[in-house]
Amino acid sequence: MTVNDIGYLPTGSSKGAAKWSSLSEKLPGNTWGVGYSTYNKRLYTCGWNPDVVHVFDVRRKGDAFGYSYLPDVKNLYGIEPQFPVCSSIGQAYVTCFSGALNVINTTTNVAKQEKRVPAFSFNNAFSPDGRMAYFPAGNVLYALNMDSPNPAVPIPLSPQLDGSAHWVTITRNGDYAYCGGDPYGRYPRSYMARVDLSTQREAGLVKDFFDFAITHDVSFDNKKIFVGLGDAQTASGDLSVAVIDISQNARVASIFIPGDAPCQIACSPVAPRACATVQFNDFTGAVQVIDTDKNTYIGSIPTTTWAGAVGFDEYGNAYAALEDKVMVILRTKLDAMGNST
């Protein structure tokens, strides 16, 4: 399959899995989470019903991209996998909502249970060199040396987070980890902690949000963190995204985007673009696009089902997890929305 602008990678019923049909099952979940491996050019997306990780080979063809199916990762520990995160040296972590943590070899696509991290974590992030992995778990950030058999080392976080650190972003130079946020909104706290990874100690709080953090990511130029917020209401409307200046470690802007609170926000690694997936009351959704240089909302790409997770590959193409497929949005489309090059 070749994509030239916007396309879809079918999963679920298109690959033989049962099609979800009831109203409750139309919530994000049948395809949940997307991750891209720069190590071997593969895209990973988690599927529920059955519990597998779908794998796609990504091939560049000039300005177009080709995708082909590879065998699913089926030997997962736990049920309801979500949020695959890939390293630069050939591993991927997948958390199952039941509590188990899986590490996948992205060459063989075989999963093993990771037992060196003692607490449940919604997601993780790798250092740029892939040698360290970090797992947020409430008031602790666990640091795991990928070259060592030893257990992960806990880094205490501020009690002000009150157990709310369930998402982590590593800056592109590997200097800091930003911890805070909960993709399911069960710990609604408006604080984020910054950890200095050279000292493995907390180095300040960001706490002037209008509402609780959900997920976040770092801009391509490593200057800002973009934070998806809960349903913050102000006199001027919803403030769906907060912008943190890394040099100041403070919120410097807020952005309104249409729709419910963002399910996930992700930043392009090569261009001034961020994508946030949102949902509407009619069970449709959208990928909302932000110019990260200008801190402005620049447009919407509608989806026919509720949109869940979102991520980017190394080329600046975006991938949004829908109910039973993955939407592919090429960088050329995102650039054109803001007339950027």
- The DSSP result for 242-307, as a single string, is EEEETTTTEEEEEE--SSSS-SEEEE-SSSSEEEEEEE-TTS-EEEEEEETTTTEEEEEEEESS--
Domain with 57, as residue range(s), is: 2-338
Residue 341 vs residue 308, higher pLDDT: 308
**Which pTM value belongs to this model?**
0.90
Give the model's pLDDT for residue 2.
60
Average pLDDT, the chain: 85
φ/ψ region of 210 (left if φ > 0, alpha if ψ in -120 to 50, else beta) reads alpha
Q: Does residue 317 contact residue 329 with C-beta atoms inside 8 Å?
A: yes
Give the model's pLDDT for residue 19.
36
Q: How far is Cα 57 from Cα 61, in angstroms, rounded to an integer?
A: 13
In the predicted model, what is the mean pLDDT of residues 224-231? 87
Number of structural domains in the chain = 1
Please provide the DSSP assignment of 63-121 as one string.
TEEEEEEEEEE---SSSSEEEEEE-TTSEEEEEETTS-EEEEETTTTEEEE--S--S--
pLDDT tens-digit profile of 20-34? Answer: 333 333 333 467 789
Give the model's pLDDT for residue 47.
80
pLDDT tens-digit profile of 157-208? Answer: 998 888 888 899 999 999 999 998 876 666 566 789 999 999 999 999 997 7
Give the model's pLDDT for residue 261.
78
Confidence check: pLDDT of 236 > 90: no
CATH of the domain at 267: 2.130.10.10
φ/ψ region of 73 (left if φ > 0, alpha if ψ in -120 to 50, else beta) reads beta
Instruction: Return the structure tokens found at 72.
Output: 């699913």
Q: How far is Cα 191 from Cα 179, in angstroms, rounded to an integer?
A: 9
What is the residue whose two structure tokens read 């209401």?
233
pLDDT tens-digit profile of 239-298? Answer: 589 999 999 999 999 898 888 778 899 999 999 999 999 888 777 889 999 999 999 999
Highest mean pLDDT among 10-14, 58-62, 159-163, 208-212: 58-62
Give the model's pLDDT for residue 73.
92
Is 226 strand, coil or helix? strand
